[in-house]
Structure 1
Amino acid sequence: MPFHLSPVSWLLVLSVLVQLVYAAYYFWPFALRRPAETAEPAPQHEQAHPVSIIVAARNALEQLRYLMPELLQQDYAQFEVVLIDDRSDDDTGLYTQQLTQYYPNVRLVTIGSTPEGIAPKKYALTLGIKVARYPYLLFTDADCQPSSNQWLRHMARGFDGGADIVLGYGPYAEAEGLLNKLVRFETLLTGLQYLSFAERGQPYMGVGRNLAYTKATFMATKGFASHIRRLSGDDDLLVQDAVQLGRRASVVTAAEAQTISQAPDSWGQWWRQKRRHMSAGSRYRFSDRVRIGTFILANGLFYVGTLVAFVVPEPEWVALAAVWGLRTSTVVATYAQASRRLHDRQPLWLFPVLDAGYFFAYSLLTASLVLNRNPSRWK
């Protein structure tokens, strides 16, 4: 009897094949690679790579009380901290002014108002970059914590070899609850995508809580000029513009080079955050949109095809079980290896559930952006 599969089964097979191609070409080479990421002291080298750490903050006094000591204790030969007080109503400015009296490498930029029609965070970062003394810029957020006092050293070493951009990883702290697990899984998956693509020579984004680039790169892109009115994109759209100009990116994944953040503690907060981040995607280069979109679409069609397969007459259970078994084992193994490379261990047994939940949420987020293109404002 000739071998026959229904259109739904062929859809499932095709979607899994696409995912296997991504796993074989991008994800597995990245996940299995073990780069030498030592950070032995090299004072002469570090003197040649002085760094300005730039932090934009609004009403973030409590977060800064934890962050600033960690930044000031970084084990690096020459650096400064540029803190931008963006229209704060609390004592952020006063706290930083007190630090400047004791630490000459702390500088304060105070913003009283933002010009109409300009994204506030991009305006704040622009002013901070303009006053930065050093040619190498390292960015994080006020609610982050470097994972070690070697964070700056590892990230700065990413500029070795002539890189213009250094892409780091910023996981969220582990906490109780399903939301935290979903947020951490989504962060792992996003990190796996943009870091593995970059290692294949196809960088398309970075995350502002752990990102570095040269001041010359910022000047070459004319700063955030091409997207200055968009609320999001101070990180990924800057990388997009820089890559378009031929700037090179490197990847740093050492455990000591991470910044840890507290995950959103409510579904509404996470939803607004994701809408803001995803709204920048329409400005990506066409090739990047195709590359990312194909991966997302293949995963989405897999779940749609599975739902359809259960309701059609005489489901092909053997084919469905085989496809599901192949995909599930590949997904779990890939994410497990990626979590080791990124030093972000997560519960393996939940990966299939979180994967399905993420792509369901992604579909809803995409639909919401199509229906309402106004993302939430930053702070």
Structure 2
Amino acid sequence: MGLLGFIYCAFIVVVVIQIVFYVFILGKFAFLKPQEATKKNLPISVIICAKNEADNLNQFLPSVIAQDYPNFEIVLINDASKDDTLEVMQSFAAEHNNIKVVDVKSIEAFWGNKKYALTLGIKASKNEYLLFTDADCKPLSQNWIAEMAAHFSEDKALVLGYGAYEKIKNSFLNKIVRFETLITAINYFSFSIAGTPYMGVGRNLAYAKKEFFKANGFIEHIKVRSGDDDLFVNQVATKQNTAICFTKESFTTSTPKTTFNEWFKQKRRHVSTAAHYKTNHKVLLTVLYVSNILFWLFAFILLPALFQWQVVLILFLIRILIQYTVIGLSSKKLNETDLLFLLPFLEIFIILSQLAIFINNLISKPNHWK
């Protein structure tokens, strides 16, 4: 068997792996029918940790304050900010009696570690159920808290939500940022439905305080400067205790990075936490990512060479069709359908960017969160 014959056989295997992932795992979210959760009036503590976010707090905090929910407090954590973040928090607290400010001073042992500040904020919260977002996030409706809280139950102690990014017209980088966010959400929603929840995003995440203390907080990964959201979920989430929420009224939206360098640095921090996931999660995600790379690589080798091109083309189109179906139905749920037109180009760009990120992270460690 020659080299092209070997690549041809490997291509068939890769396509089968891709189809299995898209049909039996990623398809679980795509074909999931929305189920309306019973609204609850559980006491909720909204936790927002901010470091040098004075402007964003002034812009976005009012949308959290204006939530249509009968029983919630807002815990604002100032993580050793050097700007007017603390003053902005205190001014909001003076006007609203359901806002609590936690001022965290930097200490050498936890310098640059968001988890230390979050731990103090969680301990200061008065309610059992915690809902997390960021200072640069805006709930897309006044029912954000109600929608997320509705998914708590006697069994469900974690709720994974969707944190979108704002759309910027005529910006290819914005499409890259949003596409990567969309794919990440499809993955963690789908894996959760399949019984293997592995991550969530701190822009829109909720869990019961009992889960935090049962796990001894972030102590298992306290030395990892990032991962207060995905590493914690990876540690404590199970098939039994995790729910997902993807109603449009439950979404938050954030200000995206506007330069490739800023986005690249942000993703380096995010990707660095994946090395600390549970082994079975790392294996599944690695197989998915590597099969994505090999699918495009082998197709670009075999099709121009016209090696068994009829079979290769059929397999190529089958995989593309299944992918478009799954991502198309998922993007409709998450209000990101405008990305479908550029799907192949965005996927290839993300694959290459992630490869560059992995290489960079092997050479040097990414910076702390701020």
Normalised TM-score (structure 1): 0.92
Cα displacement (A) at 1:161: 4.7
Listed as ranges, the gaps of 5+ residues in structure 2 are: none
Judged with a 3 Å threshold, the aligned counterparts in structure 2 of structure 1 residues 178 and 191 are, in CA distance, closer, same or farther, namely same
Cα displacement (A) at 1:159: 0.5
The answer on 1:10 being equivalent to 2:9 is: yes
The answer on 1:74 being equivalent to 2:73 is: no
- Residue 20 of structure 2 aligns with which residue? 21
1:273·1:376 contact (CA, 8 Å) conserved in 2? Answer: no
- Residue 236 of structure 2 aligns with which residue? 242
Cα displacement (A) at 1:347: 3.1
- Residue 268 of structure 1 aligns with which residue? 261
Cα displacement (A) at 1:134: 0.3
1:164·1:249 contact (CA, 8 Å) conserved in 2? Answer: yes
Amino acid at match of 1:197: F
Distance 1:258 1:311 in 2: 43
The answer on 1:356 being equivalent to 2:342 is: no
The match for 2:311 among 307, 319, 334 is 319
- Residue 220 of structure 2 aligns with which residue? 226
Structure 1 stretch displaced more, 169-178 or 107-116? 107-116
Distance 1:117 1:93 in 2: 19
Amino acid at match of 1:33: L
Cα displacement (A) at 1:247: 6.5
- Residue 371 of structure 1 aligns with which residue? 363
Judged with a 3 Å threshold, the aligned counterparts in structure 2 of structure 1 residues 216 and 161 are, in CA distance, closer, same or farther, namely closer
Cα displacement (A) at 1:81: 0.3
- Residue 133 of structure 2 aligns with which residue? 140
Distance 1:119 1:223 in 2: 17
Cα displacement (A) at 1:119: 4.8
Amino acid at match of 2:129: Y
Q: CA deviation digits over 1:220-266, x for unaligned, max 9?
A: 1111101111111101111122137x861100000000110121111
Judged with a 3 Å threshold, the aligned counterparts in structure 2 of structure 1 residues 31 and 310 are, in CA distance, closer, same or farther, namely closer
Cα displacement (A) at 1:344: 2.6
Structure 1 stretch displaced more, 192-201 or 298-307? 298-307
The alignment partner of 1:346 has SS state of helix
Cα displacement (A) at 1:73: 0.9
Distance 2:63 2:29 in 1: 30
- Residue 191 of structure 2 aligns with which residue? 197
- Residue 50 of structure 1 aligns with which residue? 43
Cα displacement (A) at 1:319: 2.5
Cα displacement (A) at 1:17: 0.9
- Residue 302 of structure 1 aligns with which residue? 295
Q: CA deviation digits over 1:102-138, x for unaligned, max 9?
A: 2110010112213335552111101100100000000
Cα displacement (A) at 1:370: 2.1
Distance 1:317 1:293 in 2: 28
- Equivalenced residue count is 366
Distance 1:308 1:231 in 2: 41
Distance 2:339 2:234 in 1: 33
Amino acid at match of 1:283: H
Moved over 6 A (4+): none
Cα displacement (A) at 1:307: 3.4
2:28·2:193 contact (CA, 8 Å) conserved in 1? Answer: no
The answer on 1:97 being equivalent to 2:90 is: yes
The match for 2:182 among 181, 188, 193 is 188
The match for 2:118 among 125, 129, 135 is 125
The alignment partner of 1:347 has SS state of helix
2:110·2:116 contact (CA, 8 Å) conserved in 1? Answer: no
Cα displacement (A) at 1:93: 1.2
Cα displacement (A) at 1:60: 0.8
2:158·2:237 contact (CA, 8 Å) conserved in 1? Answer: no
Judged with a 3 Å threshold, the aligned counterparts in structure 2 of structure 1 residues 350 and 171 are, in CA distance, closer, same or farther, namely same
Distance 1:357 1:316 in 2: 27
Amino acid at match of 1:335: I
- Residue 158 of structure 1 aligns with which residue? 151
Amino acid at match of 2:307: P
Judged with a 3 Å threshold, the aligned counterparts in structure 2 of structure 1 residues 345 and 364 are, in CA distance, closer, same or farther, namely same
The match for 1:257 among 239, 250, 257 is 250
The alignment partner of 2:328 has SS state of helix
2:163·2:253 contact (CA, 8 Å) conserved in 1? Answer: yes
- Residue 32 of structure 2 aligns with which residue? 33
Amino acid at match of 1:164: A
Cα displacement (A) at 1:30: 1.3
Cα displacement (A) at 1:37: 3.1
The alignment partner of 2:56 has SS state of helix
Amino acid at match of 1:375: P
The match for 1:347 among 336, 339, 346 is 339
Q: CA deviation digits over 1:321-367, x for unaligned, max 9?
A: 22221122121221111101223322322111111111121112112
Normalised TM-score (structure 2): 0.94
1:83·1:128 contact (CA, 8 Å) conserved in 2? Answer: yes
Listed as ranges, the gaps of 5+ residues in structure 1 are: none
CA RMSD of aligned residues (A): 1.8
Amino acid at match of 1:185: F
